[in-house]
């Protein structure tokens, strides 16, 4: 009997060893690192992925350890230079030998940027003693910023001015944990912010009032070439408004607000008739360099600061700009899973890639209250991390349009995607260039920032799980001897020997806040707004009152300059108006004249436009454009889970996104040709975050965790353009399952899907035959449809599923104004019609849920 028991015990240990080895191999965990990562789990006695308070504290403390490790290495091996190289453990400095190295020198001004940019993370951590030491170090290092360095105005504003002001607010506010009281003189950091702002301000001394991109902190424009000054982007010219306006509130000097707000407003005035802003042009003469727009690099912070500025400064005009701009983006740029880069005049697709910086936008949407669209847009970036182990600087979402125009294809193109990785260095390089044209990831914070905002809005543990994966990757894949290194090539795994200051200022700060439920930011009554560099800013009522009562603008140099800019603007618009253009849209007409772009050429098909696009109705006033696309609507509104228990096994609900978001895995299917995991990650069994076994087993509700069936219908976008009217958001949902549009002016986009029996529609349902019974197919305006209606039973119908980027719930009807949709006299060849039940007709086919009244 005893021998039998011994054999059972022996077999048990053998099975245990086999299973342990299997799980280690399956999930590719380094034993030592895994032990370090979970060492406190046993000590705190909690179940992983239950996200109780002890577990959240463990992750929070881990991030604090990361920050301390990186900052200590910078201070001991990098200070007083700008950065520390995390792999070689030596300082990274300006490129003093090559002033044209803008990638380096735009940011590294020889002003200890890592020290300055890190101060507010120490404030968020609540480390008063460390704050005191580093504030004293800053004041010992700088009397002013009289440094012979040419730097970028935008980057210097957000990283240095923003940090100095935020730190000043923290250490002078008795309610904050890092309040220094009498141990700080109350103004030194603010005076430093004012000093560097005064050194940047001459960049606005142009005849347009728009700033040039760079300036020398000591000599202004001495020895700067034309190439340094001729181009700037919309974000760079408009965004300093936020930090400079805050500086005006703190100093009572209105010149910072007036000068930068003039530039911000002028950028907005230079928008196209579609209310879209071009990304890049010459601030000296408005010459256009790019007609492209989107939500990523070169324009991102414009939208961010329109909304955030409206909140922080209680500014209705800024909110109106945000609201109008966001509506324009929804109509012209919004896709199911991403925001496209489009032409500002035609709205046509211009590139087949998006960039890493656009990862901030779901967080901004969350701040604006649009959770319905923020959730799917954030999921795209989660899929990028799942695939590449980071967010590529650029990712191509449609490689079929990037492949060489050659009519012949190599055998490599025919291989399944996972076999392609085995075809040698040349094939891997080809694949990489198709999927991620810019293949580096410098630990940018935008995806983590949006994760944080979505968690705060929903309290769904889905986002905590993302944070856990990022912590694990930081420890196992990004940590170097002296800091955290980005990855230069996500396919090869080659690392960057650089740690930019935003790693400490934003990446680790947002990750820390994700797990710190008790942080004072989360309970303060202050209207805290994070700058685009992650610096918390707020305005107390007494500061607002003082600014309202005591502010001044008495600098005659700048008063005269703004008057000159306004005079020049009037003269410019008069010139444009005399040339036959609309004075209110003068800039874009000017750009059209320079670039020889006409409405017709913008609307015609080209290599850069969406496939299948064609005009089906065209007259002097209105155009309707149909673009064939794949059908895949965004999800409907859902209620989000909130869990409250701190004890293991007593959570109150499941993850709502994991359990009820039935399109969770659609992205990986939709973009399978370009979401190809690098071999280095496949070998280590790098699992998708949502399928992390421990997380999934705890938070997925087995009753509802099902995926929506993939649509088999074909969809198209119906685009209405009327240049006689200004866009007004007309959509109103009523209680009778009806969406009413009181006006139809400006540019409108309606997505239709062509349904037929037994197809799967965009809602994931099988189309039944009920919609095809007793359909009225005779057209009030086109007798040519009558014959077709009498001879044939309808085999397909149209149904509207979106309007202006907003989902139309299944079963809803859309009502459009008759007089604005059917303009008299009508074009005899128009494909747009109306049946006798007032349903809209398209090419003699009814759109069953659009009614015209």
Tell me the pLDDT tens digit for each residue of 207-242: 999 999 999 999 999 878 887 888 999 999 999 999
**Which parts of the chain sit beneath pLDDT 70?**
1-44, 401-429, 431, 579-652, 722-735, 788-791, 828
Q: What is the pLDDT of residue 804?
A: 87
Q: What is the pLDDT of residue 746?
A: 75
Rg (C-alpha) for the chain, rounded Å, is 29
Rounded Cα gap, residues 502 and 444, in angstroms? 7
Q: What is the pLDDT of residue 733?
A: 67
H or E element: which one contains 636?
none
Closest CA to 148 of 94, 194, 204, 207: 94
* Catalytic residue annotation: 155, 300, 393, 446
Q: What is the pLDDT of residue 650?
A: 39
Burial class (CB in 10 A: 0-12, 13-18, 19+), 758: exposed
Listed in order, strand segments (DSSP E) in 10-95 are 83-84, 91-92
Rounded Cα gap, residues 688 and 386, in angstroms? 5
CA angle 281–282–284, rounded 5-degree value: 150
Tell me how long the chain is.
853
CA 305 distance to own-chain centroid: 13
DSSP string, 339-370: B--EETTT--B--SEEEGGGGGHHHHHHHHT-
Q: What three-state secondary structure class fits 847?
A: strand
Q: List binding-site positions for Ca(2+).
A: 532
Write the Ramachandran bin of 733: left for phi over 0, alpha for psi from -120 to 50, otherwise beta: beta
Rounded Cα gap, residues 660 and 670, in angstroms? 19
Closest CA to 565 of 197, 265, 247: 265
Q: Which residues of 560-579 are buried (b: 16+ CB within 10 A; e: fewer)?
A: ebbeebeeebeebbeebeee
Q: What three-state secondary structure class fits 10?
A: helix
Query: In 172-276, which residue ranges form alpha helices assigned H by DSSP?
Result: 188-200, 226-229, 234-238, 240-251, 255-269
Per-residue CA distances from 491 to 38, 425, 675, 826 (Å) = 29, 11, 12, 56
Q: What is the pLDDT of residue 735?
A: 67
Q: List binding-site positions.
A: 532
Rounded Cα gap, residues 815 and 615, in angstroms? 23
Per-residue CA distances from 6 to 9, 11, 12, 51 (Å) = 5, 9, 10, 40
The tokens of 833 are what? 């019609």
Rounded Cα gap, residues 235 and 295, in angstroms? 10
The tokens of 375 are what? 């959730």
Rounded Cα gap, residues 374 and 671, in angstroms? 19
Question: Torsions phi, psi of 833, nearest 5?
Answer: -140, -170
């Amino acid at each position: 009997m005893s021998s039998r028991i011994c054999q059972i015990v022996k077999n048990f240990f053998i099975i245990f060893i086999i299973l342990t080895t299997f799980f280690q191999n399956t999930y590719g965990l380094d034993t030592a690192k895994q032990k370090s990562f979970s060492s406190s789990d046993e000590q705190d006695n909690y179940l992983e992925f239950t996200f109780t308070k002890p577990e959240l504290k463990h992750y929070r403390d881990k991030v604090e350890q990361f920050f301390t490790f990186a900052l200590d290495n910078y201070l001991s091996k990098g200070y007083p230079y700008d950065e520390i190289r995390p792999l070689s453990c030596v300082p990274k400095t300006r490129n003093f030998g090559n002033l044209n190295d803008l990638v380096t020198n735009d940011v590294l001004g020889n002003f200890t940027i890592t020290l300055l940019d890190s101060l507010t993370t120490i404030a968020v951590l609540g480390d008063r003693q460390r704050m005191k030491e580093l504030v004293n170090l800053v004041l010992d290092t700088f009397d002013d910023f009289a440094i012979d360095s040419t730097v970028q105005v935008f980057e210097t504003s957000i990283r240095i001015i923003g940090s100095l002001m935020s730190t000043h607010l923290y250490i002078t506010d008795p309610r904050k944990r890092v309040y220094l009281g009498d141990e700080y003189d109350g103004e030194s950091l603010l005076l430093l912010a004012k000093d560097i702002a005064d050194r940047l301000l001459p960049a606005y001394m142009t005849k347009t009032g728009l700033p040039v991109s760079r300036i020398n902190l000591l000599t202004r424009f001495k020895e700067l070439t034309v190439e340094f000054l001729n181009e700037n982007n919309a974000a760079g010219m408009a965004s300093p408004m936020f930090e400079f306006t805050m500086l005006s509130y703190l100093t009572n000097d209105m010149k910072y607000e007036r000068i930068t707000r003039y530039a911000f407003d002028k950028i907005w005035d230079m928008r196209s008739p579609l209310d879209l802003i071009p990304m890049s042009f010459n601030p000296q003469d408005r010459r256009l360099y790019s007609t492209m727009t989107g939500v990523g690099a070169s324009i991102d912070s414009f939208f961010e600061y329109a909304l955030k500025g409206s909140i922080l400064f209680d500014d209705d005009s800024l909110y109106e700009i945000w609201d109008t701009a966001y509506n324009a983006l929804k109509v012209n740029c919004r896709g199911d899973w991403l925001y496209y880069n489009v032409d500002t005049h035609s709205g046509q697709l211009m590139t087949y890639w998006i960039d890493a910086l656009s990862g901030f936008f779901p967080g901004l949407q969350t701040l604006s209250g649009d959770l319905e669209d923020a959730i799917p847009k954030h999921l795209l970036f989660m899929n990028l991390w799942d695939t590449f182990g980071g967010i590529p600087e650029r990712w191509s979402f449609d490689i079929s349009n990037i492949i060489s125009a050659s009519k012949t294809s190599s055998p490599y193109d025919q291989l399944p995607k996972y076999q392609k990785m085995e075809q040698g260095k040349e094939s891997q390089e080809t694949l990489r260039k198709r999927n991620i044209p810019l293949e580096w990831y410098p630990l940018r914070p935008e995806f983590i920032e949006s994760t944080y905002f979505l968690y705060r809005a929903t309290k769904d543990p889905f986002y905590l799980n993302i944070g856990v994966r990022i912590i694990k990757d930081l420890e196992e894949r990004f940590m170097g001897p002296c800091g955290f290194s980005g990855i230069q090539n996500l396919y090869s795994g080659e690392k960057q020997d650089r740690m930019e200051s935003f790693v400490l200022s934003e990446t680790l700060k947002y990750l820390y806040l994700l797990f710190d439920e008790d942080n004072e930011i989360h309970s303060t009554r202050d209207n805290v707004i994070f700058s685009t560099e992650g610096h918390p800013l707020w305005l107390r009522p007494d500061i607002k009152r003082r600014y309202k009562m005591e502010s001044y603008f008495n600098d005659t140099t700048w008063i005269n300059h703004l008057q000159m800019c306004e005079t020049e603007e009037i003269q410019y618009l008069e010139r444009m108006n005399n040339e036959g253009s609309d004075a209110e849209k003068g800039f874009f007409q000017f750009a059209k004249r320079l670039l020889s772009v006409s409405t017709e050429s913008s609307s015609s098909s080209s290599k850069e436009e969406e496939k299948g696009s064609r005009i089906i109705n065209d007259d002097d006033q209105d155009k309707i454009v149909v673009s064939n696309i794949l059908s895949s609507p965004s999800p409907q509104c859902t209620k989000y889970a909130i869990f409250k228990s701190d004890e293991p096994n007593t959570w109150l609900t499941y993850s709502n996104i994991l359990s009820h978001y039935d399109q969770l895995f659609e992205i990986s299917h939709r973009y399978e040709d370009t979401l190809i995991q690098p071999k280095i990650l496949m070998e280590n069994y790098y699992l998708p975050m949502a399928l992390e076994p421990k997380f999934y087993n705890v938070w997925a509700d087995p009753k509802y965790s099902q995926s929506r069936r993939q649509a088999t219908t074909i969809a198209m976008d119906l685009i209405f353009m009327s240049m006689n009217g200004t866009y007004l958001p007309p959509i109103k949902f009523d209680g009778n399952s009806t969406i009413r549009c009181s006006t139809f002016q400006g540019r409108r986009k309606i997505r239709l899907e062509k349904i037929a029996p037994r197809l799967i529609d965009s809602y994931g349902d099988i189309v039944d035959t009920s919609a095809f019974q007793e359909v009225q197919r005779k057209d009030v305006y086109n007798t040519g449809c009558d014959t077709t209606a009498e001879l044939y039973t309808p085999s397909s119908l149209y149904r509207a599923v979106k309007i202006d980027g907003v989902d139309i719930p299944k079963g809803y009807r859309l009502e459009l104004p008759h007089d604005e949709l059917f303009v008299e006299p009508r074009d005899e060849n128009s494909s747009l019609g109306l049946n006798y039940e007032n349903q809209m007709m398209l090419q003699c086919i009814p759109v069953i849920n659009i009614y015209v009244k």
